[in-house]
Amino acid sequence: MSNTKVLPLLDASDAVAPCCPPLTERPFTAEEAETAARMFKALGDPVRLRLFSAVASHEGGEACVCDISDVGVSQPTVSHHLKKLKDAGLLTSERRGTWVYYRVEPSVLAAMGKLLTVAPAAA
Amino acid sequence: MSNTKVLPLLDASDAVAPCCPPLTERPFTAEEAETAARMFKALGDPVRLRLFSAVASHEGGEACVCDISDVGVSQPTVSHHLKKLKDAGLLTSERRGTWVYYRVEPSVLAAMGKLLTVAPAAA
């Protein structure tokens, strides 16, 4: 890829902010649960999960729709699922010329990983 | 709690086996995505997430239904969500006397955390 412009990773106005302590630390409040459930739900579909891992594992951490449509569903369905991943704050996107490029939001991924930390106190 | 019997943590016959590499490592196969999506979907509901964190953070890592029903929904709804968490392999349960006790399956939680590891190669 020749385009070296830095992507505005944290410019997703409706992205879910990283939230919440580990699930094992204390009972979640209703607000925390709403935010975190939205992220988990976005990954709770096999096609979305395949698209997400295709973007996340692609060279340079970003992928064009043209790179990741090989998941056995129609192009409109791919677009629908990519939009859901964006709405949940898991992906950002940028149009460059003909194609839209998708990139994983690492801070959100890290926040979800933190939620699933097994706290020693709960053992 | 006076009952010190060791719970058969890994005796969940229909539990989801821990699966899959980090999402950032390579594109998931259809089978991997099915398995992992089932776990994420189970946490993709605010009420389930609150129940799950209530169990996970409870003293001793287990909780009776009587301990965790304070999430603003009816008892049948609580039971329904706890069953979904069990079906996804995230909780195990055991009846003791009057009450059913729920316990988090740490290996499944750890496997989900691993999925969300941000691999350096993807940066």
**Structural Rg of chain B based on CA atoms:** 16
Name the range with the highest mean pLDDT among A66-80, B10-24, B32-46: B32-46
Domain membership flag for residue A99: yes
* Angstrom distance (rounded) from CA B42 to CA B99: 23
Which of A45, A48, A122 minimises the CB distance to B56? A122
> Is-contact B63 B93, C-beta < 8 A?
no
Which one of B25, B45, B57 makes the best mutation probe of the A interface by having the most chain A beta carbons within 10 Å? B57
What average pLDDT does the segment B62-91 reach? 90
Q: What is the pLDDT of residues A11-64, one digit of tens each?
A: 333 444 567 889 989 999 999 999 999 999 999 999 999 999 999 999 888 999
Contacts of A30 in chain B (CB under 8 A): 46, 50, 72
CATH number, domain of B78, equals 1.10.10.10
Q: Are residues B42 and A44, on separate chains, in Cβ contact within 8 Å?
A: yes
Q: Which of A73-87, B81-95, B107-121 has the lowest mean pLDDT?
A: B107-121
Domain membership flag for residue A33: yes
The answer for A53, left when phi > 0, alpha when psi is -120 to 50, beta otherwise, is: alpha
What average pLDDT does the segment A92-99 reach? 93
Min CA distance, A97 vs chain B (Å)?
Answer: 23
Domain membership flag for residue B123: no
pLDDT (0 to 100) of residue B3 = 45
Which of B23, B43, B53 minimises the CB distance to A53? B23
Tell me the two tokens of residue B58: 């409870």
Using 50, 70 and 90 to split pLDDT, how confident is the model at A120?
Answer: low
Q: Which amino acid is at B9?
A: L
pTM (two decimals): 0.79
Domain membership flag for residue B4: no
pLDDT (0 to 100) of residue A63 = 94
CA-nearest residue to B58 within chain A is A122
Domain of residue B34 covers 24-115
- The distance from CA B74 to its chain's CA centroid, rounded to whole angstroms, is 21
Domain membership flag for residue A15: no
Tell me the two tokens of residue B119: 């691999």
pLDDT (0 to 100) of residue A119 = 58
Q: Are residues A33 and B47, on separate chains, in Cβ contact within 8 Å?
A: yes
What average pLDDT does the segment B97-121 reach? 83
Burial class (CB in 10 A: 0-12, 13-18, 19+), B6: exposed
B99-104 β-sheet, strand order: B62-64, B99-104, B91-96
Instruction: With H, G, I as helix, E, B as strand and everything else as coil, classify residue A56.
Output: helix
Counting the structural domains of chain B, the total is: 1
A101 secondary structure, DSSP code: E
> Is-contact B113 B106, C-beta < 8 A?
no
> Is-contact A24 A117, C-beta < 8 A?
yes
Q: What is the DSSP string of A61-97?
A: GEEEHHHH--SSS-HHHHHHHHHHHHHTTSEEEEEET
Q: What is the pLDDT of residues B31-66, one digit of tens each?
A: 999 999 999 999 999 999 999 999 999 988 899 988
A16 secondary structure, DSSP code: P
Number of other CB atoms surrounding residue B116 within 10 Å: 22
Min CA distance, A7 vs chain B (Å)?
Answer: 13
Domain membership flag for residue B121: no
* Angstrom distance (rounded) from CA A11 to CA A90: 12
Whether the per-residue pLDDT at A8 is higher than 50: the answer is no
